[in-house]
Chains A and B, each alone.
Chain A
């Protein structure tokens, strides 16, 4: 199941500050719900894990994160993550390109483009569920990321792992929110239909 996910959000911090977090995989991982970096292999390679629970299905992906490209000039980073579920429920891989831009309003715009490939039990749920799950995860990520920016502004020395412990998002909530998300898009589609008719 291959998916392409594009997301953008804005944070109220200068671009260099945002870049210092975005270019550090341990910090980025600390913002991803359920994820953690367990070991640094070298400057570009890390080992980590992520737990995703959708309804009754828990998947604990364990694998490697690698920085494929780091471009401080243009504030671009390309990361590849690959993992297999420890109980053999499947695998997932993701190539994410993150990019920063500074519009004139003093904010920093974060744009990420991800190619995600999921194989196994999770993938059987189909794109409609996976997309919603990734939406929820990303929303949570951007909140965490902004919180981290805030905190690092106050206390620059705090280790990122202490800031947000690797808590997976609530199992019940993720399934429920995914369903809500599906209904929301359905409602929007219906609204579109009616307004087109009107």
Chain B
């Protein structure tokens, strides 16, 4: 790849994020900053019960409160056939409850008032009479005959949603029968929530004069949402404009369509006024898309030397009351079949069953390419359990089993074609940086003194950038993505995208791709996303797909522009195209570098002096359909010390070596790694959306669902290796999710390693001090 100057700021330059100047001044424009004339406010009435029949709803008192404009119930929506809406995965969910409620905090009624306070007061006046029903909380009991059937709307009278399997069962079973060693681990990846800094919300603005509906909403996928509003609401698509303004973190939480959006639209259509609805923190935690809740068992079969021969996985997926997973259509368990990991063995079989429970709906991909996090966690835990069983150093076991660099493209036993990788190189760098052998010595000394220190390794592989359109679609829409570049006469440019940044730094990184390909300084390129009236169609940002798909589209569109620019340059320099050579920013005549035309000269000529017969302008659009997914990887090593007295785990060091192929902006990559590791730390040690036996949410506020602050967060050390993707135009792979995918196993492996000599093989997350202390007590370490 050609190196650009710092002035141009193409790939590999750590230029400062363009968007930050407005963010750090508090001048971002988030959905709650949108204020329209005549705007009114919506407030949800929610169910206190996890499972109850609705006996009556009385809205009279609420309607009588001065300032209240409307109270919408499920029965009202049913008249317009809108009481239910489709989810993104072959299910439907209630917009407002009719008949019964299926989880605590479910939406029951929507109050609209002149101001937010009145709306909140009126919501308290809506009187709902419930008849409590038996509650199903434990997914393992979902198919028990004694459990209540939750979904009366479905033809199939069962809480079982789907069974999905992949791999060669017979061959895998046979490998297990003949295996010298078998290791197994039952690991629950607990229900957690992305808890973005900004909760979900929208402003729906229906203009009855023009017939146009504008929806400002916290959407990671504005185009897909526009199409769904058109299909479900019956509004002509040209009359819908979805605008995603600045978004304060999405992490998959802002992929689904939530009842609040639909109710706001209905209210605006009814009242003819803009309606704003913004969730509270607890509403966000309790009712919007959760992540994980995978109850997994993994088995590994190996020979006596530790060479893995097969993997078998059985998983129970708790989807809550509705299957609102945002997943590609053909993949009910997402890309969970990446669970074979970084290791080379011929046989694997994986099965997943999904069930309903009386919990909030979801199964979204929290900073994760559709269940990759669960998969990476499972295999990295299983490998450590196997190492423990074989009494082999977990590093050596990994080294012995890694897919060798020369084997790429590597066909995985569950059907993927890994594009490129050098797993051992990343692990070696991490080991060297952390001085692994010394640490093992220190650990032995500490153990002799009765102190607890652990070293955890995670050598993860990801699968991101969905996806080839032949295999991947969301609700039928193929998973391509797009970029449109227009170069202005003065040589500046605007780039519009089908994706939508939620804080990833797209305004900077896409500009750097244009800079790389066209030599227009990144500072001169404006990137615009999120407005469906102006941006080209795309599937949005999640599953680390922006760089692999839209980043590729940007490069291809820029190359189309360069082709045209070359023709103009030849015209200006009065030579043939073949005589021209490109260096970032200009074409020059071969052998005569002084005879050159800059991209700015060419842009001006495109509007003022184009060759005869050529269309004016300098612009291009590309809809990119990737030939394959990309497979980023890395090795993370975590060192922990455990306080015997309190059970507290302290992360002493954490080194993250990532390989995401060619890097666009190293500083942004580092920032992504820091953020994702901090989220991984929270998941490993602090966070769980738990429910009690009556279905009461026990993690429904930041009092119980903890976020790490600077106090709890250790210093993150990062480094990288570079194995470019062979099929991506820029050799890039995508990185946003790697730290969240790779780190949980490193944390847990470290804690288990610290306690391994006591016979501990596994601890489920979140590893709270109480859990550790209870283990120490059970093992007789403390009394």
Asked if residues B698 and A124 are in contact (CB atoms below 8 Å), the reply is yes
Instruction: Assess the B694–A119 pair: CB atoms within 8 A.
Output: yes
- Whether the pair A119, B124 counts as a contact (CB closer than 8 A) is no
Q: Determine the chain B residues whose CB is within 8 A of the CB of A2 once the complex forms.
A: 692-694
Q: Does A5 contact B (CB under 8 A)?
A: no
Q: Determine the chain B residues whose CB is within 8 A of the CB of A121 once the complex forms.
A: 48
Q: Which residues of chain A are near B695, meaning CB under 8 Å?
A: 119
Residue of A nearest to B704 (CB): A126
B152 within 8 A of A: no
- Docked Cα-Cα span, A198 to B129, in Å, equals 57
On whether A124 and B697 interact (CB within 8 A), knowing A88-B126, A119-B132, the answer reads yes
Query: What is the CA–CA distance of A84 and B697 in the complex, to the nearest angstrom?
Result: 18
CB distance from A91 to the nearest CB of B (A): 6
Q: Is A152 interfacial (CB-CB < 8 Å)?
A: no
Question: Quick check: A124 and B128 within 8 Å, CB to CB?
Answer: no
Q: Is the CB of B696 within 8 A of A124?
A: yes
Determine whether the beta carbon of B127 is less than 8 Å from that of A88: yes
Q: Does B49 belong to the interface (CB within 8 Å)?
A: yes
Q: Are A89 and B48 in contact (CB under 8 A)?
A: yes
User: Residue among A86, A118, A120 with the most chain B CB within 10 A?
Assistant: A120
Give per-residue flags for B279-322: 1 if the beta carbon is below 8 A from chain A beta carbons, else 0.
00010000000000000000000000000000000000000000
| A123 contact set on B, CB distance < 8 A | 692, 694, 696
Q: B37-49 vs A: 1/0 string, CB under 8 Å?
A: 0000000010111
B49: chain A residues within 8 A (beta carbon) = 90-91, 119-120
Nearest B residue to A197 by beta-carbon distance? B645
Please name the residue on chain B nearest to A129 by beta carbon. Answer: B703
Interface string of B148-160 (1 = CB under 8 A from A): 0000000000000
Complex CA–CA separation, A87 to B122 (angstroms): 11
Question: Cβ of A90: which chain B residues have Cβ within 8 Å of it?
Answer: 48-49
Number of interface residues of B (CB under 8 A): 27
* Residue B69, interface by CB 8 Å: no
The distance from the CB of A128 to the nearest CB of chain B, in whole angstroms, is 10
**A1 at interface, CB cutoff 8 A:** yes
Which residue from chain B places its CB closest to the CB of A121 in the assembled complex?
B48
Say whether A88 contacts B128, CB under 8 Å: yes
Q: For residue A58, which residue of chain B has the nearest CB? A: B124
| A117 interface contact, C-beta 8 A | yes
Contacts of A124 in B (CB 8 A): 104, 282, 696-698, 700-701
In the complex, B130 has a CB within 8 A of chain A:
yes
Distance of A124 Cα from B697 Cα, bound (Å): 6
In the bound complex, what is the Cα–Cα distance between A95 and B43 (angstroms)? 36
**Which B residues touch A126, using CB under 8 A?**
698, 704
Q: How far is the CB of A38 from chain B (nearest CB, A)?
A: 18
Among residues of A, the one whose C-beta sits closest to the C-beta of B47 is A88
A119 to B127, Cβ gap below 8 A? Answer: no
Q: Report the minimum CB–CB distance from B260 to chain A (whole Å).
A: 18
Closest to B690 in A: A126
Q: Are the CB atoms of B48 and A91 closer together than 8 Å?
A: yes
Q: Are A86 and B127 in contact (CB under 8 A)?
A: yes
Q: How far is the CB of B705 from chain A (nearest CB, A)?
A: 11
A2 to B125, CA, bound (A): 28
Proximity string of chain A (111-125) to chain B, C-beta cutoff 8 Å, 1 when within and 0 when not = 000000111110110
Please classify how large the interface on chain A is, using the bins under 10, 10 to 19, 20 to 34, 35 or more: 10 to 19
A85→B696 contact, CB < 8 A: no
Residues of B within 8 A of A119 (CB): 48-50, 132, 694-696
- Contact flags A1-44 to B (C-beta < 8 A → 1, else 0): 11000000000000000000000000000000000000000000
Q: How far, in whole Å, are A2 and B696 apart by their CA atoms in the complex?
A: 11
Interface centre among B45, B132, B701 (most CB of A within 10 A): B132
Instruction: Check A1/B48 contact, CB under 8 A, given A88-B128, A91-B132, A124-B697.
Output: no
Q: Which residues of B lie under 8 Å from residue A89 when comparing CB positions?
A: 48
What separation, in Å, do the CA atoms of A124 and B130 have in the docked complex?
Answer: 18
Proximity string of chain B (392-403) to chain A, C-beta cutoff 8 Å, 1 when within and 0 when not: 000000000000
What are the interface flags for A159-198 relative to B under an 8 Å C-beta threshold, 1 for contact and 0 otherwise?
Answer: 0000000000000000000000000000000000100000
Of B45, B104, B129, the most chain A CB neighbours within 10 A belong to B104
CA A85 to CA B46, docked complex, whole Å: 13
Q: Determine the residue in chain B with the shortest Cβ distance to A90.
A: B48
Contact with A along B702-718 (1 / 0, CB 8 A): 00100000000000000
The distance in angstroms between the C-alpha atoms of A91 and B129, with both chains bound, is 11
Instruction: Kindly supply a per-residue 1/0 record for chain B positions 508-532, scoring 1 wherever the CB is within 8 Å of any chain A CB and 0 otherwise.
Output: 0000000000000000000000000
Q: How far is the CB of A164 from chain B (nearest CB, A)?
A: 28
Residues of chain A lying within 8 A (CB to CB) of residue B697: 124
Q: What's the nearest-Cβ distance from chain A to residue B578, in Å?
A: 72
Query: What chain A residues lie within 8 Å of B701 (beta carbons)?
Result: 124
CA of A85 to CA of B104 in the docked complex: distance in angstroms? Answer: 15
A1 proximity list for chain B (CB < 8 A):
692, 694, 696
List the A side residues contacting B693 at CB < 8 Å.
2
A17 to B446, CA, bound (A): 67
Considering the chains assembled together, what is the distance between the CA atoms of A90 and B694 in angstroms? Answer: 11
Q: Per-position contact with B for A64-87: 1 when CB-CB < 8 Å, else 0?
A: 000000000000000000001111
Q: Give chain B residues whose Cβ lies under 8 Å from the Cβ of A117.
A: 694
Q: Which of B127, B645, B704 sits near A87, CB closer than 8 Å?
A: B127
Most buried by A among B45, B125, B129, B692: B692
What is the bound-complex CA distance between A90 and B124, given in angstroms?
Answer: 13
Within 8 A of B (CB), among A99-142: 117-121, 123-124, 126
* Bound CA–CA A121/B49 (angstroms): 9
Q: Give the distance in Å from the alpha carbon of A84 to the alpha carbon of B47 in the complex.
A: 12
Contacts of A86 in B (CB 8 A): 127
Answer whether A85 and B694 are a contact pair too, CB < 8 Å, given A124-B701, A126-B704.
Answer: no
On chain A, the residues within 8 Å of B692 by CB distance are 1-2, 123
**Is there an interface contact between A88 and B704, defined as CB atoms closer than 8 Å?**
no
Separation of A20 and B745 alpha carbons in the complex (Å) = 63
- Kindly state the separation between the CA atoms of A2 and B137 in the bound complex, as whole angstroms: 15
Q: Which of B45, B125, B126, B130 contacts A84 (CB 8 A)?
A: B130
Structural contact, A88 and B694, CB atoms closer than 8 A? no
- Please state if A88 and B48 are interface contacts (CB–CB under 8 Å): yes
Is there contact, CB below 8 Å, between B127 and A85? no
Q: Please measure, in the bound complex, the distance between the C-alpha atom of A193 and the C-alpha atom of B773, giving whole angstroms.
A: 14
Q: Which residue of B lies closest to A85 (CB)?
A: B48
Assess the B125–A87 pair: CB atoms within 8 A: yes
A123 to B697, CA, bound (A): 8
B359 to chain A, nearest CB (A): 14
Assuming the contacts A2-B693, A120-B49, A123-B692, asked whether A88 and B130 have C-beta atoms less than 8 A apart, the reply is: yes
Q: Could you tell me the distance between the alpha carbons of A110 and B692 in the complex, rounded to whole angstroms?
A: 31
Chain A hits for B126, CB < 8 A: 87-88
B135 nearest in chain A by CB position: A119
A144 to B127, CA, bound (A): 33
Distance in angstroms from B432 CB to nearest chain A CB is 42
Provide the residues of chain B in CB contact with A120, threshold 8 Å: 48-49, 104, 696
**Chain A residue nearest in CB terms to B109:** A88
A contact residues around B127 at 8 Å (CB): 86-88
Q: In the assembled complex, how far is the CB of residue A90 from the closest CB belonging to chain B, in whole angstroms?
A: 4
Chain A residue numbers with a CB within 8 Å of B104 are 120, 124
Complex CA distance for A189 and B621, rounded to whole angstroms: 67
A194 to chain B, nearest CB (A): 11
**Which residue on B lies nearest to A86, using beta carbons?**
B127
Q: Which residues of chain B in 13-61 are interfacial with respect to chain A, using CB atoms and an 8 Å cutoff?
A: 45, 47-50
Q: List 24 A-B contacts (CB under 8 A).
A: A1-B692, A1-B694, A2-B694, A86-B127, A87-B126, A87-B127, A88-B108, A88-B127, A88-B128, A88-B129, A88-B130, A90-B49, A91-B49, A91-B132, A119-B48, A119-B50, A119-B132, A119-B695, A119-B696, A124-B282, A124-B700, A124-B701, A126-B704, A193-B645
Which 8 interchain pairs have the tightest Cβ spacing?
A120-B48, A90-B48, A88-B128, A123-B696, A119-B694, A124-B700, A1-B692, A89-B48
A-side interface residues toward B, CB under 8 Å? 1-2, 84-91, 117-121, 123-124, 126, 193
A sample of 15 more A-B contacts (CB under 8 A), given A2-B692, A120-B696, is: A2-B693, A84-B130, A87-B125, A88-B127, A88-B130, A90-B48, A91-B48, A91-B132, A119-B49, A121-B48, A123-B694, A124-B282, A124-B696, A124-B697, A126-B698
